Structure 1
Amino acid sequence: MSARHRVQNPEPAAQQPRGGRAAKGAAVGNCRSDDHARAHRLPAFLLVATLLAGAACRSQAPPGPDVWAVVNGKEIRREEVEKLYRSQLALDQPPPPHEQALSMKLAILDELINNEILLERARKLGMEATDGEVEDKFIEMKAPYTEEEFQRQLRERELTVEDLKRDLRRQLTVQKVFNREVFSRVSVSDQEIAEFYEQNREQFNVREPQYRIAQIVVTPRPDPGLRNRKGDDATTDAEARRKAASLLQQIQAGADFNQLAMDYSEDPTTASTGGDLGYIPESALNNTDPAVKRIITGMRPGEVSNVVGMGGTYRIFKMVAREAAGQRQLEDVRTKEFICDTLRNRKEQLLRAAFLTIAREEARVTNYLARQVLESAGKLPASSSPAPAAGAPGGTTPPPQP
């Protein structure tokens, strides 16, 4: 969370008369004496300003090397920023260069500043997230992982369950504030939807057939990145065949396709969404096996395929919806929903930015990290605690380092 001080606007300077020298000459008697008086007053004014500036600088000294910002008297410490920074790094990628790492940390701190301002507002309004809400969100977030995988993710990012729940509480509370102060003000009228459609008709011209497909994927290989809710993972070809056949039987007996995908699909990118691949243009199917394309294009909405061997995996497809080529009409439910969502998002982003600007103007904020980075020409401030080893996720020694 960054800090921005409210700065009182200086008194507006007296407006200079037009005409330069001619205007000066208008006050013949007082011109010389006024200039002379100003000349004598100026050094004293500068001296006072210098003393005040020095006092201000001294008052802004950070409480300690590990305090990176203060928001309405509450400290935001280096440790919190560093921990969030490490959690955002890609585990399989080298750490970013020094300047990029500092930019990321400044952005994280800025977000923490915003959050703290909103959290204080939530406390005053009695809108903090409850323990039950936090626990529900925690269970939902943990669901796609096995316990072992979940704990491994925490260790690799140097987080604890308490860290995670604290962050969830903060997110849920901030969302409540936005819902009340910003999003509740947003509405989209039928007239706005119609105007958007008329101004963007070409955008709703579907040039080729599209298919909305869901899938369940089973692989014959163990996958440490497995994301399904049951943690179910076939490890041999025979196991994969049996698992796929069993899932198909359950679907044919009336089991919900999406729930089975979330529980058993071994595709890490679609299991959590019930196997949904979204709308796929017909031309994109040209990159798949011709037999698979024939199966998909020949299915009707709601229909489920048999088990299909594809690229060393076993898949079951479901045709969720089909869309023919041609102009989508405004009366189409999907068209209206898309336009409404687009306009709502635009308004929400605008009002959110305005709300945050006002909230920060009303807060007492000091961003010590930003000041120190500027004053040191881009170096990370020293810490009172031991720094991470060079090359470690939190390290600051030039390349390779965050």
Structure 2
Amino acid sequence: MRIKRSVLLTVIGLLLTTNILTLIFSGKGEGKNTESVASIDGKDITREEWLHSLEDKYGKEELKALINRKVMDRLALKYDISVSQKEIDREFAMIQSAYNVFDEGNLQDEKDIKSQIKADLLLEKLLTKDVEISDKELKKYYEQNERLYTIPKMVKLKQIQVPDQSEADQILKELKDGSSFEALAMEKSTDQKTAPLGGDLGYIPDDGNILTQEAKAEVDTLSKGEWSKPVPSDDGYLIYFVEDTIKKNHYSFKQVKEQIRRKIALEQVESPMRAESFWDELDVDWYYGKDQTK
């Protein structure tokens, strides 16, 4: 499983596009295509013009994504292939430990990421279903790369940054009175990177260097759902909230054996890692023609 930050961003972008198109096209109806959605110097832009523009820009990719979802579902039934929640959670934990230094590009919706992980695992299984790798080779790979299968303890944090102690105390009072940490972060945090995200810092590895020693010591005393006392920083004071925790874990060879088999097998498979590789098998025909699958 090899999901990079850029891929995650693309995934979320496509998901957002899907939602937008669904909302827009669900509004289509008799007489609606000629209604005005904007005007320039008194001249209207009609809903029909708008929809044509959206179809030209997003239509092909959205139709391809829809076909691919249907293709994967059909093939999963045909070959009796499934992806367990345990597999998805393991891949998600490994992605978080591999890529989660603070970066807005990583702070994506967990549900969407796990949905993409499931789709990618299913595709990997389909592409490699007929490839056999000896146990000796699998064991050798595991022993040479065992560090990749150790997940450090991680904490999913949100933060609120304020300029002085009095404002920090006011934040604590509002939290105790029942205010949402996320809402307060968006409204009152002075940190420009995390405030628009509700203070979200993502998953912070225990062995990372993102937090100061004082902040780490304070966060280590917290349980899920608790917030910290104000911690001094270069820009004032920080209040942290523990949204989730992942325990340190080391995956045994038995637990990741199938994952390793797929990884090695994918290097031997000639077909590109795309759902379109299976279109011929299911005799897919679409609006853009046989030569337009790329």
TM-score, structure 1 normalization = 0.33
TM-score, structure 2 normalization = 0.43
